[in-house]
Structure 1
């Protein structure tokens, strides 16, 4: 991009923070009210900052892509930043924004379920708006589930850390401590994924004992299958009538996961690798005349422990370094495959990768860092993670409905830095901060 084009781009977006606030107020108009309404665990006689101020500060930490609490305290200590953020929150100006220590002490006591309720209420509003209906497949929403690590290291931060032993029983034995979360994201657009629920996988003596002789792959599958049962319960409770299609990797190609989907009236489209369920592969290969459509072949009604399962295979041919290379993908699904929908179903199944690219990689490398331990306390770590999901949801909406809609191209690494820089700019009236609808803004 030349210098002239860069100037034109900057004129299209007068102030990134103001534009982001307008998008937030349009699509999540009650967010700050909902954050302020969370149950405060503190003694009200000794509080300097309200729920809304503490959580609002952390919301803008995520918007600015600030990774550590120390960096947040430093960046938000500037007088203009403090003045603007209090105005963004609709709060009376104070000399300083909350310090990192104050936030962490609050997060240690705040019930993470409070933030999950806020998160799910915003997602419910997005679904009700009907602005994202084109992202559905067969009039059902794609729900991607996968696990990721929020911490990994040689230091045991708290008793909830999981353990992985290397060279066990030898003089060279080492232990890696890690914190994992099973995440569920709803596909709202081609590059728009929002978190609908999170289930934290924690250490407990019963699981550790039962998994002692398992391989690493089996241990991971056991942990995530149990976590999926809890996660599915959360999602069904929050969105009881939402039509969903589960997208997941081969780790979830199991009878318990399929049964949970059937019990919840969900469809499933799960990646399948040879060896995951040998009986299905054997029956599939025994049938000589498989149905075909373009680059897809399929068989419906394969028996798996008394339940019908459909198997879909898709391949694509590419030229790599002058040589033809074929890549194959397979899925197990409850969706009945036809010649008319086979390739489209495969396309929907391949969107599972979005949770890695537009989800975890984004939050680890471009828009903050969910692997940075902002606190050693287990409860505080959960709250930090959940606030990141809320902030990133709004930031994605800003990228989708402001930057992309106006044809403004930015490198991912520059989006956060320019938002942070805009916190220091002179802001004028309330209309410039919030847009037309300010019904949820407090003036106290």
Structure 2
């Protein structure tokens, strides 16, 4: 005789789902009653289109395209004027397209999230798309072939292109676009590394290398690794800033070591200080950077920092933290969203490093132990715990520990979320676009600049509702399909584009 099936029936599954919803409602009511605000990400709506007629859809598409383009056009004149200063390496007798037109074409290639040069050629060369682009961007007189942009990026000096990106961020800072998101009047900048691509072919001498596989499959793999810097705000706004490519020849040749993140950090921090000499900066770094030279560099540049401190790092600092905390405990309990974090900290810990410990720093350590409740799939209330520790450049107190930790250090994950978006949500971070080192870097810089423009559009007051309704990729796809088909009335679009546009971030 067979055993009865242990799988729950349809009725039981439905009942369990109903119980889970009731438990979640009860938990949220309990949190609100205790003064906590249970923040939950708003899911994308799963409804049909609210547009009832073709005229409504046409008006919605014109409105979306005009607002997205006005975000670009607000900064475009200054941006193109800077790009025009780039020395053009092409033969003057063979130029068919302006240098600025080519770079604008490359920027739009990533704004509209084309997956490759081949797709760009195939889609953007349709007569309707060409006519729409000429309407929206009169600077593009004729559309080039994608290989023409490749040949330009292969030969130009990319420092000018990165300088234009930095100056765009400087204008946003001077315009006080981010002032509501500062941490103690400092701009939070996260720095982290990410692999761009890997393969078995050495197509450029700058590629890093490693050995992968075991036994018979063991072989050398070549890869591109980039150290990125981004502005990360607690509102979720992440603005790409600088990129530092690691190169094999920049390592320690005497010790036969190739380039690494810490060496790249030295170069990136030098450039960051050069381009933002007086900007108050709060660096948000992971545990790799919890060492004396990095913290001394921040002190020399007058930067603040919040660095992840792992349990096995800086043993002398941990010993002094535990000893001093036992003598004079300093703590703060404060609810934050669904979580109940408990902070303990110790200020003015001596840390010696360098040759014979000759260099010394005063560090401040904070530990956050938190708990939160959630409902699992069995409709049971589960209490989960977490623990975090950070090194702070500034003394901690009851007045600043919440802001530095919850609004600053925690949001270092913003740069990781930015990597996820660029790799998996339309920007094709891991695609080379060209097997030439200089051209590959050029495409990467254009991609990061386009990501910055699309992020600004997403957080503007004028377009926030569209992005909330359709999602980021859905909104960009909506705008791209509007340009690819005869939806836009030229006369109405000229009127909409002529309207003044004030960049207001929400």
Give me the TM-score of the superposition, normalised by structure 2: 0.79
**Is the 1:163–1:175 contact (alpha carbons within 8 Å) kept by the matching residues of 2?**
yes
Give the corresponding residue for 1:162. Answer: 208
1:314 alignment counterpart: 368
- Check 1:80–1:167 CA distance in 2 against 1; reply closer, same or farther (3 A cut): closer
Separation in 1, partners of 2:272, 2:184:
20
Residues 355 and 253 (structure 1 numbering): CA distance in 2 closer, same or farther, change over 3 Å?
A: same
Q: Which residue of 2 aligns with 1:384?
A: 443
1:285-314 CA-partner distances (Å, limit 9, x unpaired): 222133101111101111111210111111
Q: Which of 331, 348, 351 is the matching residue for 1:304?
A: 351
CA displacement at 1:117 relative to structure 2: 0.6
**Partner SS state of residue 114, structure 2:** coil
Matched with 1:350 is: 410
8 Å CA contact 1:314, 1:343 repeated in 2:
no
> Which structure has more RCO (C-alpha within 8 Å, separation ≥ 6)?
1
Deviation (angstroms), 1:3: 2.7
Distance 2:423 2:470 in 1: 18
1: CA distance between counterparts of 2:421 and 2:329? 40
Larger Rg, first or second structure (1 or 2): 2
SS of residue matched to 2:434: coil
- Matched with 1:442 is none
Shift in Å, 1:6:
5.3
The alpha-carbon deviation at position 207 of structure 1 amounts to 3.0
Structure 1 residues 140 and 69 mapped into 2: Cα distance closer, same or farther (>3 Å)?
Answer: same
Deviation, structure 1 residue 232 = 0.9
The equivalent of 1:435 in structure 2 is: 498
2:253 is equivalent to residue 199 of structure 1? no
Tell me if structure 1 keeps the 8 A contact 2:234–2:411: no
Give the deviation of 1:93 after TM superposition: 3.3
| Pair 1:51-2:96 in alignment | no
Equivalent residue in structure 2 for 1:372, among 401, 419, 431:
431
How far residue 373 of structure 1 moved from its aligned partner, in angstroms, is 1.2
Partner SS, residue 184 of structure 2: coil
Question: For residues 333 and 436 of structure 1, do their structure 2 counterparts lie closer, same or farther at Cα, with a shift above 3 Å needed?
Answer: same
Q: In 2, Cα distance between the equivalents of 1:245 and 1:273?
A: 20
Pairing partner for 1:141 from 177, 187, 190: 187
Cα separation, 1, equivalents of 2:234 and 2:366:
24
2:458–2:467 Cα contact (<8 Å) kept: no
Aligned equivalent of 2:175, options 109, 126, 129: 129
Of residues 366, 377, 383 in structure 2, which corresponds to 1:324?
383
Distance of 2:344 and 2:430 partners within structure 1? 40
Quick one: distance in 2 between partners of 1:238 and 1:7? 51
Contact 1:21 1:433 in 2 (8 A): no
- Name the counterpart of 1:118: 164
Q: 1:87 Cα shift?
A: 3.5
Provide the rounded CA distance (Å) in 2 between the counterparts of 1:44 and 1:276.
58
1:283 Cα deviation from its structure 2 partner = 1.4
Residues 189 and 351 from structure 1, CA distance in 2 versus in 1: closer, same or farther, beyond 3 angstroms? closer
Structure 1 residue 167: deviation in Å? 5.2
Aligned-residue offset at 1:14: 3.0
SS at match of 1:197: strand
5+ residue gaps, structure 2, are 1-45, 334-341, 353-359, 502-506
Q: TM-score, normalised by structure 1?
A: 0.89
Equivalent positions of 1:244-263 (< 5 A) are: 244-263=281-300
Give 3-state SS (helix, strand or coil) of 2:443's partner.
helix
- Say if 1:38 and 1:17 are closer, same or farther in 2 by CA, change over 3 A: farther
Report the equivalent of 1:274.
311
| Match of residue 230 from structure 2 | 185
Alpha-carbon shift at residue 62 of structure 1 (Å): 0.9
Change (3 A) 1:434 1:257: farther
Q: Is the 8 A contact 1:57 1:85 kept in 2?
A: no
Note closer, same or farther for the CA distance 1:100–1:257 as it changes in structure 2 (3 Å cut).
same
Select the residue among 386, 397, 409 that pairs with 1:338.
397
Aligned to 1:21: 69
Q: Does structure 1 residue 100 correspond to structure 2 residue 146? A: yes
Shift, 1:433, TM fit? 6.4
Pair 1:87–1:171, CA change in 2 (3 A): same
Per-residue deviation, residues 344-403 of structure 1 (Å, max 9, x unmatched): 21111000000011x111111113211111000000111101001111111111111132
Give 1:415's aligned residue: 475
Contact 2:110 2:450 survives alignment (8 Å): yes
Quickly say closer, same or farther: Cα 1:148–1:107, change in 2 above 3 A.
same
> CA, structure 1 residues 64+167, in 2 after alignment: closer, same or farther (shift >3 Å)?
closer
| Equivalent-residue separation in structure 1 for 2:348 and 2:436 (angstroms) | 49
Distance of 1:406 and 1:292 partners within structure 2: 43
8 Å CA contact 1:186, 1:194 repeated in 2: yes
Describe the SS at the equivalent of 1:204. helix
How many correspondences in the alignment? Answer: 426
| 5+ long unaligned stretches in structure 1 | 213-218, 439-444
